[in-house]
Structure 1
Amino acid sequence: MEKFMKMIEEKLMPVALKISGQRHMQAVRQGVVATLPLTIVGSFFCILLNIPIDGYSEFIAPYLNIIDVPFRFTVGILALYAAYGIGASLARYYKLDQLGCGMLATVAFLVSTVVPVKVTAGMPEVIADGRYLSIGALSASSLFGAIVASLVAVEIYRLCKEKNIVIKMPDGVPPEVANSFSALIPAAVVILLFWVIRYVFNFDISATLSNLLMPLKDTLSGNSLIGGLITVTLITFFWVLGIHGPAIMSPVIRPIWDMTIAENMEIFAAGTAASQLPNIFTEQFLQWFVWIGGAGATLALVCLFLRSKSQYIKSLGRLCLIPGIFNINEPVIFGAPIVMNPILAIPFIVAPIIMTIVSYLFTVSGLVPLMMAKLPFTLPAPLAAVMSTDWSIMAGVLVIINFIIALVIYYPFFKMFEKQQLEKEEASLEKA
């Protein structure tokens, strides 16, 4: 292990540091990390909405619209907050007006992503005619669009400033007023550019990615180990890019997942044993055996964070532990962050791949039955795995085995990340 860690440190660390130190990468990380308080609070409300207790759903049904609000306006529009944070972070690097650049990044993201819907008098539950914006397009599924829009918007602003393509106010004008007028021309260029891209050329980044994935549909179906590995790899890879992996994959894989678990449930209800069901790669197979703590099996990483010497990492681990137990890992994905992090990205992708192979072997060998129930995703993995396989204790054992595998894979990369963070903390103390 020591030789392996030394090899990674010597070969990977210099490249990782160079990549992570790049100004746009830093802006993305800082902007996304700024959303951490929102994702943590929103995650707890998500848990509150999905407590698996008999009668609980009926009890909270009258209050769903109220309880759901904090989650929708935190995690539900995460990309909107990230757009502002990324724009302001990059502006700080260039020593530009952070407030103006943050707002410019936000409007660029909105124009490029959200299409206003026309409301007519004949539509149900509408108070008056007009137009409305759907917040569904502002979630983490659009984070990649927010990143691109924010970086491009600030670069346009910087270019206009460097080329003096701005409106200058006389001396003596308050700075906030001067900055506002200075941003007029860059704002016009940014809005016009993204308006043309979205409305004239009708180009949508998220939709384009989904269309590119459609040819994979046949490969991802059935009980193919290759198909399962492709699904796992793509979901984790998109998360590393800052894109909500399941949201991007949903148009392709969701119908298959729903069909396979429904078929398993129907055949099980007819009297077939769980070990004889037809479909292995249901969503529940990945949820309980692979996504332990969320996509990327991040509960293992959170547990490592709890023993870190870095105060930031240790504090983050404490904050992310409870959401992680309930399979909500946006706080650690965006808080560490794992997004755009060349060190943590490797185990985030590799660990689930190994866990998928191990789980597949356990299943085809008959040691673990197939999934016969569709439970709330917020159930802790060992309990949910046992319940979903007709109370197979071996399924719970497999979860523990996979968790240990994830710990082992994450450990050397965690130590690299910890060392990097400790150096930053020591540098901050020296400056202070």
Structure 2
Amino acid sequence: MNRFISFLEEKFVPVAAKIGGQKHLVAIRDSFASLMPLILVGAFAVLLNNVFFVPWSLLASYIGEESAFIVWANTNLAPLFSLMESGTFAIIALGLTFSMGYNRAVNEDKDPLSTGLISVASFVLLGALARNNEVVASWVTNFLGAQGIFIGLLVGLITPEIYFAIVRKDWVIKMPDTVPPAVAKGFSAVIPGFIAVFFWALVAYIFNVAAGMNIFTWFETNIAAGLSVLGQNIISIVFISTLIPLLWFFGLHGANMLEAIMSPVYGTMGIENITKFSNGIRAVGTGADELAVWVRGSWDAYVFMGGSGATLPLIIAILVFSKVKSQKEVAKLGLPPGIFMINEPVLFGIPIVLNPVYFIPFILVQPILTLVAFYAAKIGFAGPIVNSVPWTTPPILNAFLATNGSWGAVGVSIINLVIAFVIYMPFVMIANRYEEQREIEEEKIA
């Protein structure tokens, strides 16, 4: 086992670290992170509506959609929170495009505001404001929200590169030193901005002429459906679930490193699930008008039980069975943050990182929990994720709120906690034997 871990540490970790530090992937990760104010504000607005105020809310399922409170709330409160949703979720792709340009410019020490604005201009001219697809989500009239995220990523990655290339050639308008800096920056961005916008105008023209549709509609028609099917493939989901703890075992933040993949694919599906649910869609599948089985929030609801590696059940197993005093002390300190999905005290305190005793359960527990939750949702035992819940929400409650009150989801969450506990338990006992052997050897030396 030690030889295998050393091999991975020597061959796998440097490559993973290099990929995780790649500047474009870092920009994607940071850009999605910067959207958290929009996402969380919109999520709370949707959550309040879906739990309390609309006829299909969790509360309405108990007191009846015809009850006086639901009728009053749907008339007076629900529209208010719907407006909040339209100002947050409905412009996610637009915000992402600006954030991508801004973050790339910050990393390259270029003008971030100009780069972000030019990226937004390019995104809009491609046809982001016009959408009329009766076959796919006919209620959506533009691509500013989740439907435009992939094109927003494309624009946010390419536009800064064009902009930076022109700036490096020094094809900029230079103003005298007496001109205020803000004005000088504006003029210096004119030529690079013109060339970048012209490039995307040419792309838009080619698509309109050759394909008879804008790039958003073409992508939605030809590629988006395939990506959705691929994203719902259990092999890709399990692979991600395995890679996250594997990276963490070597001290690399697995979830953060893979966020550049998880957010564009599964985060987008999560936002689309919320929108579809609000528009009355209840069927689960891979179709355009069906709710996705697995989204970004599925990991928080069913897999990250206390954090990456499902370490909350490990904490409980240590508190119950461990005879290693240092581990029990760390477990006691790690229990409160673990309940709220923060497990760095356990990962580095027990430690889990580079600890061969816990390598096998730490790597295997997430794929197993993923398989259980995925098929439970696929067969309809657990409801789909239709609310965005803060990742710090404790297990079980997270699943209940994220699925808008699915008791099947609660059951799966409890089952997964038990499974993780059972997986970790024998390794806690192995750790006891290791500690006993170490103490015997120390006594012999003394």
User: TM-score, normalized by length of structure 2?
Assistant: 0.55
Gaps of 5+ in 2: 52-57, 64-68, 133-139, 209-213, 242-257, 316-335, 343-362, 388-396, 426-446
In the alignment, structure 1 residue 170 sits paired with structure 2 residue 182: no
| Residue pairs, 1:278-317, within 5 angstroms | 291=298, 293=300, 297-298=303-304, 300-301=306-307
The Cα of 1:373 is off from its aligned counterpart by 8.9
Report the equivalent of 1:13: 13
| Residue pairs, 1:166-245, within 5 angstroms | 166-202=172-208, 203-204=214-215, 207-208=218-219, 211-212=222-223, 229=234, 240=261, 242-245=263-266
2:409 and 2:102 map into 1 onto residues whose CA distance is: 51
1:194 and 1:201 map into 2 onto residues whose CA distance is: 11
Q: Check 1:64–1:40 CA distance in 2 against 1; reply closer, same or farther (3 A cut).
A: same
Task: Look up the equivalent residue of 1:157 and give its one-letter code.
Answer: Y
2:199 and 2:222 map into 1 onto residues whose CA distance is: 23
In the alignment, structure 1 residue 61 sits paired with structure 2 residue 79: no
The Cα of 1:258 is off from its aligned counterpart by 5.3
Is 1:284–1:371's contact at 8 Å kept on the other side of the alignment?
Answer: no
The Cα of 1:169 is off from its aligned counterpart by 2.3
2:401 and 2:176 map into 1 onto residues whose CA distance is: 68
Report the equivalent of 1:152: 158
The Cα of 1:149 is off from its aligned counterpart by 0.9
2:144 and 2:152 map into 1 onto residues whose CA distance is: 9
SS of the aligned residue for 2:115 comes to helix
The Cα of 1:194 is off from its aligned counterpart by 1.5
1:215 and 1:299 map into 2 onto residues whose CA distance is: 31
Q: Check 1:396–1:174 CA distance in 2 against 1; reply closer, same or farther (3 A cut).
A: closer
1:243 and 1:369 map into 2 onto residues whose CA distance is: 22
Q: Deviations over 1:215-246 (max 9, x none)?
A: 799x99xxxxxx86268579999972642448
2:224 and 2:19 map into 1 onto residues whose CA distance is: 27
Is 2:385–2:403's contact at 8 Å kept on the other side of the alignment?
Answer: no
1:37 and 1:392 map into 2 onto residues whose CA distance is: 27
The Cα of 1:260 is off from its aligned counterpart by 6.9
Gaps of 5+ in 1: 119-133, 221-226, 262-281, 308-316, 325-348, 409-432
When structure 1 is superposed on structure 2, of 182-191 and 392-401 the one drifting more is: 392-401
SS of the aligned residue for 1:137 comes to coil
2:284 and 2:96 map into 1 onto residues whose CA distance is: 36
In the alignment, structure 1 residue 106 sits paired with structure 2 residue 120: yes
1:70 and 1:293 map into 2 onto residues whose CA distance is: 24
Q: Deviations over 1:321-370 (max 9, x none)?
A: 59x9xxxxxxxxxxxxxxxxxxxxxxxx9977644544688x7xxxx995
| Residue pairs, 1:312-351, within 5 angstroms | none
SS of the aligned residue for 2:300 comes to coil
Task: Look up the equivalent residue of 1:74 and give its one-letter code.
Answer: T
Task: Look up the equivalent residue of 1:167 and give its one-letter code.
Answer: I
Q: Deviations over 1:372-394 (max 9, x none)?
A: 796883475369999868x7996
Structure 1 vs Structure 2: percent identity of aligned residues?
24
Task: Look up the equivalent residue of 1:161 and give its one-letter code.
Answer: V
Is 1:145–1:206's contact at 8 Å kept on the other side of the alignment?
Answer: no
| Residue pairs, 1:82-101, within 5 angstroms | 82-101=96-115
Is 2:284–2:293's contact at 8 Å kept on the other side of the alignment?
Answer: no
2:423 and 2:120 map into 1 onto residues whose CA distance is: 37
Q: Check 1:387–1:156 CA distance in 2 against 1; reply closer, same or farther (3 A cut).
A: closer
Q: Check 1:162–1:239 CA distance in 2 against 1; reply closer, same or farther (3 A cut).
A: closer
1:209 and 1:233 map into 2 onto residues whose CA distance is: 26
The Cα of 1:9 is off from its aligned counterpart by 4.0
The Cα of 1:45 is off from its aligned counterpart by 1.7
The Cα of 1:301 is off from its aligned counterpart by 2.8
1:352 and 1:283 map into 2 onto residues whose CA distance is: 23
SS of the aligned residue for 1:293 comes to helix
The Cα of 1:177 is off from its aligned counterpart by 1.3
1:79 and 1:21 map into 2 onto residues whose CA distance is: 24
Task: Look up the equivalent residue of 2:193 and give its one-letter code.
Answer: A
2:410 and 2:102 map into 1 onto residues whose CA distance is: 51
SS of the aligned residue for 1:398 comes to helix
SS of the aligned residue for 1:86 comes to helix
Is 2:382–2:412's contact at 8 Å kept on the other side of the alignment?
Answer: no
In the alignment, structure 1 residue 46 sits paired with structure 2 residue 46: yes
1:3 and 1:178 map into 2 onto residues whose CA distance is: 59
Is 2:89–2:145's contact at 8 Å kept on the other side of the alignment?
Answer: yes
Report the equivalent of 1:76: 90
Report the equivalent of 1:371: 380
Is 1:167–1:185's contact at 8 Å kept on the other side of the alignment?
Answer: yes
When structure 1 is superposed on structure 2, of 32-41 and 371-380 the one drifting more is: 371-380
2:415 aligns with one of 372, 381, 398: 398
SS of the aligned residue for 1:371 comes to coil
1:5 and 1:373 map into 2 onto residues whose CA distance is: 37
2:424 and 2:103 map into 1 onto residues whose CA distance is: 33
Q: Check 1:178–1:2 CA distance in 2 against 1; reply closer, same or farther (3 A cut).
A: same
Task: Look up the equivalent residue of 2:74 and give its one-letter code.
Answer: A
Task: Look up the equivalent residue of 1:198 and give its one-letter code.
Answer: A
Report the equivalent of 1:341: none
CA RMSD between the two structures: 5.3
Report the equivalent of 1:425: none
1:59 and 1:406 map into 2 onto residues whose CA distance is: 49
The Cα of 1:70 is off from its aligned counterpart by 2.3
Q: Check 1:82–1:359 CA distance in 2 against 1; reply closer, same or farther (3 A cut).
A: closer
SS of the aligned residue for 1:50 comes to helix
Report the equivalent of 1:271: none
1:406 and 1:211 map into 2 onto residues whose CA distance is: 43
1:15 and 1:205 map into 2 onto residues whose CA distance is: 34
Report the equivalent of 2:25: 25
**Higher Rg of the two aligned structures:** 2
Is 1:228–1:356's contact at 8 Å kept on the other side of the alignment?
Answer: no
